[in-house]
Amino acid sequence: MVSFRSARHDSLATNVERLPFEQVTLRNHPDVPEDFPALDGLRAFAVSSVLIGHLIPLPTLQKAVGWGDMGVVLFFCLSGFLITNILLKMQPAARSGSRATGLKIFYARRFLRIFPIYYLTILFMCLVHYAPVRENLFRLLTYSVSFPGLSGPKSSLGAASHLWSLSVEEQFYCFWPLIVFFMPRRVLPVILSGLIFGCLAYKFMLAEKIVHPFLPENQLYALIFRPITGCLDSLGLGSLAAVMYRNRMENSTPVLVSANTLGVAMLAWLGVTVYRISSPINPSFQGYLPFGVAQFFVSAVAFTTLILYVVEQRNGILSRLLSFRPLRWIARISYGLYVYHFFMTALVGWLLSEHIVSSSIKLRYLVIFDFLMTFTVATLSWNLIEKPILSLKRYFDYAKTEQA
């Protein structure tokens, strides 16, 4: 295991001695940084793999990133970790009688981050009479795409088909903060373990056709991987990592992930990735659904291990590489990149169908145009819409939880 002792550790110890009348833990110590620059790099790789899987028509490259699915799995692991870490920092104050205030602040900040460009995009697509959005408007407005127990969308979602993952995240936000605030922290690992293994059991039962044995495999794929019930392994692993990380930081216990542990996890992920590339697997994993379930889980474990490693080894080489400024810039606009990218593809298709752009243009130039449009729109969105709206977060400061 890698030792945690360093000059920084000694600095923390020195500062604790300056505060003899206050119980100081790593949770509330002013010298502990709360942002994770390396996770921005991981977010950049996540959105890049989605763009590659969806926009670049090279089969081997698309299979390498699971047609964008691996980026979504990484997004879910990151989301679980970051959201749970925030909730756990708020938890002590919320337990002291300000749960309502804590929840209001949490949801207000989520609203400011997620809702504006999502609903603006839906509104714009309605105004231009984009049929797939108009026909599935209720599902998109209520984040109930692929909601468990409901029938599928009325028709193909078209360029909005990727928004299912945002529905999953919003559904997760509906119940997880309540569990964190109202349940003792010691039971959170038990709850998360139940969610993770329950999710795996659900997916394997469908993949092995123990349930719905006569359902076509392309429909089984959507039933396995698209509802929140099929994504709780990734979200749960990220959340469990946050619980372990907070407990470690507050109790100054040894590091959770060594370089050797990370190496084993990444080799396992590389193994299932190579198998996917070398096998005749299609995007719906037809004939390979059990492998798909295993591969998604192995990937989620590897990504969660990587997240823990880089947040613990903040000054390590890997963390510094992931904190590279261009990667952090991509991470900053990653939400816009994700929301807009498929609509840019639809725009290219419309330009071709209306003969505004010649159909004789080589495919690679259309792909380049698609990428340029996506990054341009996402950058403008960040500077003109998202950044000004996010400045309103100052009215919903987490510190107010402790003042309530």
174-230 per-position pLDDT tens digit: 999 999 999 999 999 999 999 999 999 999 999 999 988 888 888 899 999 999 999
List pLDDT tens digits, range 257-267: 999 999 999 99
The pLDDT value recorded for residue 94 is: 60
On the question of pLDDT at 21 being above 90, the answer is: no
The pLDDT value recorded for residue 329 is: 98
The mean pLDDT value for 80-101 works out to: 82
For 308, phi then psi, to 5°, come to -60, -40
For a pLDDT cut of 70, what percent of the chain falls above it? Answer: 88
On the question of pLDDT at 97 being above 80, the answer is: no
On the question of pLDDT at 117 being above 70, the answer is: yes
The pLDDT value recorded for residue 101 is: 85
User: Cβ neighbours of residue 164 under 8 Å, at least 6 residues apart?
Assistant: 145, 146, 157, 226
- 358, 78 Cβ separation under 8 angstroms: no
Assign 362 a pLDDT band (cuts: 50, 70, 90): confident
| Count of C-beta atoms within a 10 Å radius of residue 26 | 15
Query: What is the average pLDDT score of the chain?
Result: 88
User: Cβ neighbours of residue 55 under 8 Å, at least 6 residues apart?
Assistant: 341, 345, 367, 370, 371, 374
Residue 107 token pair:
């949801």
Whose tokens are 């000054």? That residue is 315
The mean pLDDT value for 359-370 works out to: 87
The pLDDT value recorded for residue 361 is: 83
The pLDDT value recorded for residue 380 is: 98
Assign 92 a pLDDT band (cuts: 50, 70, 90): confident
On the question of pLDDT at 26 being above 60, the answer is: no
The pLDDT value recorded for residue 389 is: 98
User: Would residue 285 be called left, alpha or beta, if left means φ above 0 and alpha means ψ between -120 and 50 degrees?
Assistant: left
Residue 373 token pair:
């449009």
On the question of pLDDT at 129 being above 70, the answer is: yes
The mean pLDDT value for 136-148 works out to: 91
Angle (deg, nearest 10), helices 188-207 and 164-182: 150
HSE at residue 222, side-chain half, CA atoms within 13 A, is 17
Distance between CA atoms of residues 197 and 190, nearest Å: 11
The pLDDT value recorded for residue 250 is: 85
On the question of pLDDT at 279 being above 60, the answer is: yes
Tell me, what amino acid is at 316? Answer: G
Assign 5 a pLDDT band (cuts: 50, 70, 90): very low
* CA angle, residues 166, 168, 169, in degrees to nearest 5: 65
More confident residue, 365 or 354: 365
Residue 21 token pair:
């009348």
Assign 404 a pLDDT band (cuts: 50, 70, 90): very low
The mean pLDDT value for 130-157 works out to: 85
Three-state secondary structure call for residue 368: helix
DSSP state of 129: T
- Range list of H helices, 34-163: 37-55, 59-64, 69-93, 99-127, 131-135, 137-141
